[in-house]
């Protein structure tokens, strides 16, 4: 349908949609940067979605039972900002729109979670939004089963572009959603045939509808500019029994000189182009001006869900008190009160038993104690359940048959798992953790970075955390992965050395409010180090004295995880020779860095020589603790990896790569 016919047939819809388009044109022109074409192309779909389908109340953006709207094609951020402004979200004033992409404003280049209510997730790295959406839909299905459809019964809508569908993560996301038959998940594809380089067909000829259908989706399509047709497709998508994919045929940069071309993808800033486009729309108002009747139609849409929300509040109030309290607690992100006593009792017993245990097995023991008292945890693994030790007996398995199940078989989809876990956490009401091999951090990394950027407390249980995994060889042996995780802002990297430290790490990870955690866990057995019970969480200090020097302190050995055992052996050797040696266990560098300077100096005083031992690379954090915070304290050395590993039994590998007590002693002696 051409513009003039649309205008004539649906004049009110047209003006509402053009409010989105013109705000986009004005904001992008003012910023002299941004992406005009996508919001101009998807304005009709978004107008029908918000106007007739999306369950929301702009005055209560945190209403737990709202539909979630995710803009996976995050470069089209002005679409979201315009919708939030027009429908009356308090955070999204016209002033914000006028300062699109400017310092100190909520209207960042790409939508950022936490900047404004109504931004459900951070998008921009293409494909993340559809990955998140699967997690949102899993959370919804799980909570619906637990609390009943009167309390939880909403949809997750996600707009994807050609780019999102080309990214590999979309395949992981859509196949997982298809298997799980997430009936409340609806993907709207901006089928405009254009990306940055030109026509989609230059790089991809996939039949997207067939692709989704092949994975168990219900597939629909519509003319993405005809409000009647869009409404029909959305109605059908909502009624479909499985996840729904709606192909919306659209024109990028509709009505402009750049329509249907790659030029329309980016910023249309030329004053004449902007003016001509507005003229083509029949829009004759100054920049950033929305006629009062159009604005009030949009505000009515923003208030459309108020009655439904009020009814929901009443229904919620009639829940049994305990259930209501639990719902409120899990949505607040607050851990249950019992957790502390469970962890303390666990640690006490662990110190007493002092088992020799791989920390991955330790992790399973801890989870077995925690999961029964934390009904909000949702565990999972990317097809390594038996290796990651992530499943405890009481969880059940999440599936179309059992929505109450709290364990997700994510399949071999590390990236999809991580993106889904972000969605689970962002939805609220659940606390996700998931495992894979530490080495495959690489496969999950784009979403791990977004956990950190968004500040969502996802837990990554990464096992087989060094050459200590042995025969599987260098393809599977992480060397640089601790460094990469430590280099990421707002990320806690825990590398516990035994059962007690593992319990402490989980305690911190599962009570975190806004920082994701990476738990680096060993495949190989490790002896107990913490045999005397201390109620206080030592791991929370990041580093602490595990064994003090006997006699004058000449050497400080710093180690993490599996290498703490080596440090203790090296200490025995040095002490036998009369060299006073302190061993510092450092399970979390970030938490150590967060202690006050006096504490840090108490643990790492100037004077003694320092040797750190970790079966990973030195880069990415060690030098601060070795050379001193100002880089001129220590005589120091490092025992670790400077190359990839190799395929061999573990003992041979530690020998060959020189990660031994003897090598540590030699390095310490050379410095004395």
266 binds, among Mg ion, ligand TPP, none (CB under 5 to 8 A by kind): none
Say whether residue 253 binds ligand TPP (CB under 6 A): no
Choice among 120, 167, 376, 414 that is catalytic? 414
Q: Which helix (H) or strand (E) holds 386?
A: helix 385-388
Contact window for ligand TPP (CB under 6 A) among 188-196, 304-312, 581-589, 649-657? 188-196
Gap between the Cα atoms of 390 and 398, Å rounded: 14
Gap between the Cα atoms of 122 and 417, Å rounded: 17
Kindly report the backbone phi and psi dihedral angles of residue 639, in degrees, each rounded to the nearest multiple of 5, phi listed first: -110, 110
Nearer to Mg ion, 192 or 388 (CB): 192
CB count in 10 Å sphere of residue 345: 11
Say whether residue 34 binds ligand TPP (CB under 6 A): no
Say whether residue 196 binds ligand TPP (CB under 6 A): yes
Q: To 10 degrees, the CA torsion angle through 51, 52, 55, 56?
A: 10
* Residues 567-606, mask of contacts with Mg ion (x by CB under 5 A): ----------------------------------------
Say whether residue 162 binds ligand TPP (CB under 6 A): yes
Contact window for ligand TPP (CB under 6 A) among 189-197, 305-313, 462-470, 557-565? 189-197
Beta bridge partners of 437: 463
Nearer to Mg ion, 201 or 475 (CB): 201
Contact window for ligand TPP (CB under 6 A) among 194-202, 214-222, 629-637, 662-670? 194-202
124 binds, among Mg ion, ligand TPP, none (CB under 5 to 8 A by kind): ligand TPP
Starting at the edge strand found earlier in the chain, the sheet holding 377-381 runs 407-409, 377-381, 431-437, 459-463, 517-521, 492-494
* Residues 194-223, mask of contacts with Mg ion (x by CB under 5 A): x-----------------------------
Say whether residue 379 binds ligand TPP (CB under 6 A): no
Say whether residue 163 binds ligand TPP (CB under 6 A): yes
Say whether residue 126 binds ligand TPP (CB under 6 A): yes
Gap between the Cα atoms of 582 and 550, Å rounded: 8
The per-residue DSSP string of 237-294 comes to: HHHSSS-EEEEEE--TTTTSTTTTSGGGTS----HHHHHHHHHHHT----TT---HHH
* Residues 64-83, mask of contacts with ligand TPP (x by CB under 6 A): ---------x-x--------
Contact window for Mg ion (CB under 5 A) among 100-108, 189-197, 219-227, 482-490? 189-197
Helix axis angle, 77-87 relative to 292-303, nearest 10°?
90
Closest of 524, 526, 518 to residue 499, by C-alpha: 526
Closest of 100, 40, 25 to residue 287, by C-alpha: 25
The only residue of 65, 162, 167, 376 in contact with Mg ion, by rule CB under 5 A: 162
Say whether residue 265 binds ligand TPP (CB under 6 A): yes
Kindly report the backbone phi and psi dihedral angles of residue 337, in degrees, each rounded to the nearest multiple of 5, phi listed first: -60, -35
Contact window for ligand TPP (CB under 6 A) among 157-165, 494-502, 503-511, 526-534? 157-165
Gap between the Cα atoms of 303 and 151, Å rounded: 20
Bridge pairing between strands 357-358 and 525-526: antiparallel
Least Cβ distance, residue 129 to ligand TPP (angstroms): 11
Contact window for ligand TPP (CB under 6 A) among 122-130, 136-144, 469-477, 545-553? 122-130
In the annotation, is 328 catalytic? Answer: no
Say whether residue 37 binds ligand TPP (CB under 6 A): yes
172 binds, among ligand TPP, Mg ion, none (CB under 5 to 8 A by kind): none
Least Cβ distance, residue 85 to ligand TPP (angstroms): 21
Q: How many CA atoms lie within 13 A of 276 on its CB side?
A: 13
Counting residues that bind Mg ion (by CB under 5 A) gives 4
The per-residue DSSP string of 150-189 comes to: TT----EEEEE-HHHHHSHHHHHHHHHHHHHT-TTEEEEE
190 neighbors 73 (Cβ within 8 angstroms): yes
Gap between the Cα atoms of 44 and 37, Å rounded: 13
The only residue of 74, 161, 302, 645 in contact with Mg ion, by rule CB under 5 A: 161
Q: CB nearest ligand TPP: which residue?
A: 161
Residue ranges in contact with ligand TPP by CB under 6 A: 37-38, 73, 75, 124-126, 161-164, 167, 190, 192, 194-196, 252, 265
Residue ranges in contact with Mg ion by CB under 5 A: 161-162, 192, 194
Q: Which residues form the catalytic set?
A: 414
């Amino acid at each position: 349908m051409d513009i003039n016919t649309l205008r004539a047939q649906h004049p009110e819809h047209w003006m509402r949609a053009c409010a989105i388009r013109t705000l986009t044109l004005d904001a992008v022109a003012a910023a002299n940067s941004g992406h005009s074409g996508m919001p101009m192309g998807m304005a009709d779909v978004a107008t029908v979605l918000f106007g007739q389908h999306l369950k929301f109340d702009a005055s209560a953006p945190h209403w737990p039972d709202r539909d979630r709207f995710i803009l996976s094609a995050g470069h089209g951020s002005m679409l979201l900002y315009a919708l939030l402004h027009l429908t009356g979200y308090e955070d999204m004033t016209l002033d914000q729109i006028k300062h699109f992409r400017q310092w100190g404003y909520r209207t960042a280049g790409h939508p950022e979670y936490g900047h404004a209510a109504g931004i459900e997730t951070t998008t921009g790295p293409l494909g993340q939004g559809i990955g998140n959406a699967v997690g949102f839909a899993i959370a919804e299905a799980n909570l619906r089963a637990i609390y009943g459809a009167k309390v939880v019964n909403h949809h997750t809508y996600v707009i994807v572009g050609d780019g999102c569908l080309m990214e590999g993560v979309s395949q992981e996301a859509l196949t997982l959603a298809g298997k799980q038959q997430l009936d409340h998940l609806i993907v709207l594809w901006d089928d405009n045939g254009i990306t940055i380089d030109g026509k989609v067909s230059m790089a991809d000829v996939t039949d997207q509808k067939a692709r989704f259908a092949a994975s168990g989706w219900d597939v629909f399509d519509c003319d993405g500019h005809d409000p009647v047709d869009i409404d029909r497709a959305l109605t059908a998508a909502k009624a479909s029994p499985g996840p729904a994919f709606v192909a919306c045929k659209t024109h990028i940069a509709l009505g402009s000189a750049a329509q249907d071309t790659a030029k329309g993808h980016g910023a249309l800033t030329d004053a004449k182009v902007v003016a001509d486009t507005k003229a083509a729309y029949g829009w004759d108002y100054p920049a950033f001006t929305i006629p009062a009747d159009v604005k009030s139609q949009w505000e009515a849409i923003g208030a459309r869900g108020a009655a439904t929300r009020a009814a929901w509040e009443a229904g919620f109030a009639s829940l049994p008190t305990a259930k209501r309290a639990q719902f409120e607690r899990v949505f607040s992100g607050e851990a249950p009160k019992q957790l502390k006593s469970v962890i303390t009792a666990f640690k006490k017993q662990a110190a007493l038993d002092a088992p020799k245990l791989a920390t991955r097995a330790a992790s399973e023991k801890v989870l077995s104690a925690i999961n029964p008292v934390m009904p909000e945890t949702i565990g999972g693994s990317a097809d390594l359940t038996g290796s990651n030790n992530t499943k405890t007996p009481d969880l059940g398995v999440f599936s179309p048959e059992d929505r109450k199940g709290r364990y997700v078989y994510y399949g071999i989809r590390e990236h999809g798992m991580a993106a889904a876990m972000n969605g689970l956490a962002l939805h609220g009401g659940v606390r996700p953790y998931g495992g894979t091999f530490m080495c495959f951090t690489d496969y999950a990394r784009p979403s791990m970075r977004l956990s950190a950027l968004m500040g969502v407390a996802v837990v990554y249980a990464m096992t087989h955390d060094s050459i200590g995994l042995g025969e599987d060889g260098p393809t599977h042996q992480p060397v640089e992965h601790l460094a990469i995780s430590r280099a990421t802002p707002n990320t806690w990297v825990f590398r516990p050395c035994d059962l007690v430290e593992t319990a402490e790490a989980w305690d911190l990870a599962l009570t975190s409010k806004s920082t994701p955690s990476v738990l680096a866990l060993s495949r190989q057995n490790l002896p107990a180090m913490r045999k005397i019970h201390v109620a206080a969480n030592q791991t929370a200090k990041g580093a602490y004295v595990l064994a003090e020097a006997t006699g004058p302190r000449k050497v400080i050995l710093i180690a993490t995880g599996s290498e703490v055992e080596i440090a203790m052996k090296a200490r025995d050797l040095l002490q036998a020779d009369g060299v006073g040696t302190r061993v510092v266990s450092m399970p979390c560098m970030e938490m150590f860095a967060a202690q006050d300077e006096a504490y840090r100096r108490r643990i790492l005083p100037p004077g003694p020589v320092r040797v750190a031992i970790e079966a990973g690379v030195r880069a990415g954090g060690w030098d601060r603790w070795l050379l001193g915070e100002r880089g001129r304290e220590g005589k120091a050395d490092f025992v670790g990896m400077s190359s990839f590993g190799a395929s061999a039994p573990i003992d041979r590998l530690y020998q060959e790569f020189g990660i031994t007590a003897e090598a540590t002693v030699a390095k310490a002696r050379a410095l004395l």
